[in-house]
């Protein structure tokens, strides 16, 4: 069957635009997987380089270049280069990926507010109303780029390339209430929902990441004897993850999410979206037998929540009152903890979980782990639980380049607290220059870079699409070498024994060190063998 993708490629061919300059993300995988042989893919490691290369090509060839950018992060990173392209009068068609149409109303992970993000520099911005309008929008953008000599944008949801969007449950609460404090009536309403449930569960989110709310939710969970889950794609931990009632992190796929929530007749989310997703899947978030409710301090989060009752209130006081007013029950829940991985056999390469397990055995409980390793994040959550508020920090939006500078800022703001950044080498390259700041100002962060010489998460996503990824590996890049060039000390770790010796030396210094250090740890990009 002929798809929107096929028709769009034909438009590009018709105009001689068969080279795609890109730094793609997951929202662009449906377009790029199994790229036809007559289309050439050119990877650059930052969006400024993408647009810069396209600018030079367009000026030399005197025809529009094709640029592909990854949703908000990509377009935002490219804004300055797009301004240059406009003033240089370089024609280009800029395809900007967007999340799946099917759940944009709920602002899923990686959704972007893209129209206008490029400012006044685009000569045209197309936002096709239907998937079938995409090829025509690209054609109009080609003409606008040629006529007005500048970048023309086309914003394309990722599902447009292959299939139409699906309907979602209504993304709005049936009842929405606001309170400036712990309104007794609203506390009783929520407590009544919990008391009347036969098998309740809690979902904690980034909004609950403070000491008072942690303590209140731990008390509430104890009174209910119920599991507490962490929201999908949470940027911070909303509950002590070493607590015996912590059940784990909810998945970002609807089918698995429905399966996990099936045993519960009521799920109360606290400080979390309901329930933030990533790749779109058909069907509701929860089974029909599971009621959803929300307590949050974010009005926008409440307004798009598909729940029966949403309460907007300051969380520490409301949750403390809720814990006090909720009747205790005899039921108890204790979560099973995933086993720590066995050390690698002689000659076996290091996997990310070996590094994470070694860190977990050595880090102080108050360590702040700043994460940016998409392909290893699930194992990081399992092996490095947040044991104190602000024990985990990640990018809420998903644009790469967060971990290194954020870890520096955390350590500057809390100079006595241990800070470890765990990042993939692909992620680290987006803000590698932040290491100069750490070195210049004596910021004692340990940067653990899991180096596999590729965008492993992108390879995984392409494999799930059932096709071949066109982007190359970058194994020749040395993060340790780049760190040293920026004045930051660095070491390269290549084996398990070396890893353990290095961590044994370094972790006792985490609280008082004034010198940053990059540990570039060579890990395999291959998946772990079955347990």
CATH of the domain at 61: 3.40.50.970
- The separation between CA 125 and the C-alpha centre of its own chain, rounded to angstroms, equals 26
23 and 149 housed in the same domain:
yes
> What percent of the chain clears pLDDT 70, i.e. is strictly above it?
97
The total domain count for the chain is 3
360 and 213 housed in the same domain:
no
Please tell me whether residue 460 adopts helix, strand or coil conformation: helix
377 and 513 housed in the same domain:
yes
Q: What's the number of CA atoms in the CB half-sphere (13 Å) around residue 12?
A: 23
362 and 502 housed in the same domain:
yes
In angstroms, the CA 381 to CA 20 distance is 36
203 and 127 housed in the same domain:
no
Q: pTM for the full model?
A: 0.81
Please name the residues in contact with 497: beta carbons below 8 A apart, sequence gap of 6 or more. none
299 and 361 housed in the same domain:
no
The helix or strand, by DSSP H or E, that contains position 169, with its residue range, turns out to be none
CATH number at residue 224: 3.40.50.1220
The yes-or-no verdict on residue 99 having pLDDT over 90 is: yes
Q: What's the order of all strands across the beta sheet hosting 392-394? A: 392-394, 368-372, 419-424, 446-451, 517-522, 490-493
Range of the domain at 188: 175-325
99 and 199 housed in the same domain:
no
Structure token pair of residue 526: 């291959």
Residue with tokens 């194994």: 475
Structural domain contains residue 527: no
142 and 270 housed in the same domain:
no
Structural domain contains residue 392: yes
Q: Which domain-ending residue is among 161, 189, 224?
A: 161
Q: Which domain-ending residue is among 108, 128, 161?
A: 161
Structural domain contains residue 452: yes
In the structure, what pLDDT confidence band is assigned to residue 510 with cuts at 50, 70 and 90?
Answer: very high
200 and 121 housed in the same domain:
no
Residue with tokens 């760190």: 483
192 and 144 housed in the same domain:
no
Position 305 scores a pLDDT of 86
In the structure, what pLDDT confidence band is assigned to residue 19 with cuts at 50, 70 and 90?
Answer: very high
What integer is the mean pLDDT of 172-184? 86
What integer is the mean pLDDT of 311-317? 96
Task: Annotate 431-458 with b (16+ C-beta within 10 A) or e (fewer).
Answer: bbebbebbbeeebbbbbbbbbbbbbbbb
Structural domain contains residue 308: yes
Structural domain contains residue 334: no
Structural domain contains residue 409: yes
Position 169 scores a pLDDT of 40
261 and 373 housed in the same domain:
no
Structural domain contains residue 344: no
Q: pLDDT by residue (tens digit) across 53-89?
A: 999 999 999 899 999 999 999 999 999 999 999 999 9
> What percent of the chain clears pLDDT 90, i.e. is strictly above it?
69
In angstroms, the CA 245 to CA 330 distance is 14
Structural domain contains residue 341: no
3-state SS, 206-253, equals: HHHCCHHHHHHHHHHHHHHCCCEEECCCCCECCCCCCCCCEEEECCCC
10 and 117 housed in the same domain:
yes
Q: Which domain-ending residue is among 132, 161, 190?
A: 161
């Amino acid at each position: 069957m002929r798809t929107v993708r096929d028709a769009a490629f034909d438009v590009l061919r018709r105009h001689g635009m068969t080279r795609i300059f890109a730094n793609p993300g997951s929202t662009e995988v449906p377009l790029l997987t199994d790229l036809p042989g007559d289309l050439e893919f050119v990877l650059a490691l930052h969006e400024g380089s993408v647009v810069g290369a396209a600018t030079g090509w367009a000026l030399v060839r005197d025809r529009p270049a094709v640029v592909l950018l990854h949703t908000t992060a990509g377009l935002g990173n490219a804004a300055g280069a797009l301004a240059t392209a406009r003033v240089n009068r370089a024609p280009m068609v800029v395809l900007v990926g967007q999340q799946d149409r099917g759940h944009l109303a709920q602002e899923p992970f990686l959704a972007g507010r893209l129209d206008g993000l490029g400012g006044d520099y685009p000569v045209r911005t197309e936002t096709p109303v239907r998937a079938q309008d995409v090829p025509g929008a690209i054609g109009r953008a080609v003409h606008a780029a040629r006529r007005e000599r500048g970048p023309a944008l086309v914003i394309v949801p990722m599902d447009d390339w292959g299939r139409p969007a699906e309907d979602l449950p209504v993304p709005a609460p049936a009842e929405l209430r606001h309170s400036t404090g712990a309104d007794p009536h609203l506390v009783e309403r929520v407590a009544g929902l919990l008391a009347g449930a036969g098998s309740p569960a809690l979902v904690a989110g980034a909004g609950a990441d403070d000491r008072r709310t942690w303590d209140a939710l731990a008390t509430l969970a104890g009174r209910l004897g119920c599991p507490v889950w962490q929201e999908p794609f949470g940027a911070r931990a909303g509950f002590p993850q070493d607590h015996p009632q912590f059940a784990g992190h909810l998945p970002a796929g609807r089918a698995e999410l429905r399966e996990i929530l099936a045993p519960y007749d009521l799920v109360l989310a606290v400080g979390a979206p309901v329930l933030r997703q990533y790749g779109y899947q058909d069907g509701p978030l929860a089974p029909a037998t599971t009621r959803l409710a929300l307590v949050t301090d974010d009005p926008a989060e409440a307004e798009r929540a598909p729940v029966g009752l949403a309460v907007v209130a300051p969380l520490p006081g409301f949750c403390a009152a809720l814990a006090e007013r909720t009747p205790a029950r005899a039921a108890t829940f204790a979560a099973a903890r995933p086993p720590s991985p066995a050390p690698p056999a002689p000659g076996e390469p290091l996997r990310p979980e070996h590094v994470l397990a070694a860190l977990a055995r050595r880090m102080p409980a108050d360590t702040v782990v700043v994460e940016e390793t998409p392909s290893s994040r699930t194992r990081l959550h399992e092996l490095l639980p947040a044991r104190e508020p602000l024990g985990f920090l990640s990018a809420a939006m998903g644009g790469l380049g967060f971990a290194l500078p954020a870890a520096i800022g955390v350590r500057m703001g809390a100079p006595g607290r241990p800070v470890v950044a765990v990042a993939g080498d692909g992620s680290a390259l987006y803000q590698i220059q932040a290491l100069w700041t750490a070195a210049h100002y004596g910021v004692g962060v340990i940067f653990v870079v899991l180096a596999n010489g590729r965008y492993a998460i992108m390879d995984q996503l392409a494999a799930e699409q059932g096709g071949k990824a066109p982007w190359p590996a970058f194994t020749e890049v040395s993060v340790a070498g780049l760190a040293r060039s920026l004045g930051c000390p660095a070491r390269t770790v290549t084996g398990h024994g070396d890893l353990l010796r290095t961590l044994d030396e370094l972790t006792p210094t985490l609280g008082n060190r004034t010198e940053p250090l990059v540990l570039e740890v060579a890990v395999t990009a291959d998946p772990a063998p079955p347990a």
